[in-house]
Amino acid sequence: MSHTPNAPEETTPRHSRDGVTIERRFTEPGVHPFDAVEWEIRDAVIGDPGSPAFEQRGVEFPASWSQNATNIVAQKYFRGRLGSPERESSVGQMIGRVAGTIAGWGREGRYFATEDDAEAFSDELHHILLHQMAAFNSPVWFNVGFEERPQCSACFLLSVEDTMESILAWNTKEGLIFRGGSGSGINLSKIRSSKEQLSKGGYASGPVSFMRGADSWAGTIKSGARRVVRPRWSYSTSTIPTSSTSSGAKRARRRRRRAARRRLRYANRR
């Protein structure tokens, strides 16, 4: 791999009245970043080679990338059904899909002052990703250049009201977020405690019950057609006890009983 020059202190793109001008830092006009590195063909295999959990042979990666990076990228971020002609098999295809799409958005939105600036932006972004100087989050690799309206954010904050319609809508939104590879957070303080009565009789389920249901729902959804761990945060600012039958409440009661027995034994010895 050729030596990567150090970037000058000032890296902010210049703006003109007609768009952004891009100064090249790492690339040269007329030389694509992919042509400036050494490539090699490898096999991506995860698990026992005799019975691998994942396998894609004959993938193309820069020689400088590790085998671990090869396995992870091929399994998680190459798009297309495994074994089909549409399946990506090269880091060049993956980076080209993402960086090319982003540069295309800039061209369509007339962000750049000239076509040379657009080409410079594209080349610089390709170089940065190819040399692992920076990386996008998983939803970008999953969706950009593959989905018509790609989901790019890593996390979404949701809200919910104390109605069944709102609770079901929360689960639907969260499921779609997880499918795109992102995480979510939500405040459940507006949902009634399990100790509160309903207008039609009986007691509310309580936020803890809905938390359990949402956790189970999240565990069944694959992100970008791959099963990954997605962060989800549920919290409540309420101080009202939510469930006398929750596992946390049971553990707390057991701790209190054990503490009371210890105090009693200590008092008897005295």
Write the pLDDT tens digit of every residue in 95-139. Answer: 999 999 999 999 999 999 999 999 999 999 999 999 999 999 999
Higher pLDDT, 227 or 50: 50
Candidates 220, 221, 189, 181; CA nearest to 206 is: 189
Q: Which residues contact 250 (CB under 8 A, 6 or more apart)?
A: none
pTM strictly above 0.75: no
* Average pLDDT of span 241-269: 61
Question: Are residues 171 and 158 in contact, defined by beta-carbon separation less than 8 angstroms?
Answer: no
| C-alpha span between 45 and 91 (Å, rounded) | 16
Residues 17-34: tens digit of each pLDDT? 689 999 999 999 999 999
Residue by residue, DSSP assigns 234-258 as EE----S---TTSHHHHHHHHHHHH
- Per DSSP, the three-state class of 139 is helix
Candidates 40, 142, 35, 140; CA nearest to 88 is: 142
Q: Which two tokens stand for residue 53?
A: 């959990």
The upper half-sphere exposure of residue 21, i.e. CA atoms within 13 Å in the direction of its Cβ, equals 6
| Res. 14 pLDDT band, cuts 50 70 90 | low
Residues 161-192: tens digit of each pLDDT? 989 899 999 989 988 888 888 888 888 888 88
Question: Are residues 151 and 55 in contact, defined by beta-carbon separation less than 8 angstroms?
Answer: no
- Helix 91-108 and helix 115-130: axis angle, to 10°? 150
Task: Encode 13-50 in three state secondary structure.
Answer: CEEECCEEECCCCCCCCCCCHHHHCCEEEEEEEECCCC
Q: Which two tokens stand for residue 154?
A: 């890593």
Whose tokens are 């956790």? That residue is: 215
- The one-letter code for the residue type at 135 is A
Q: Which two tokens stand for residue 153?
A: 């954010």
Sort strands 19-21 and 14-16 into parallel, antiparallel or unpaired.
antiparallel
- The one-letter code for the residue type at 182 is S
> Which residues is 61 bridged to in the sheet?
40
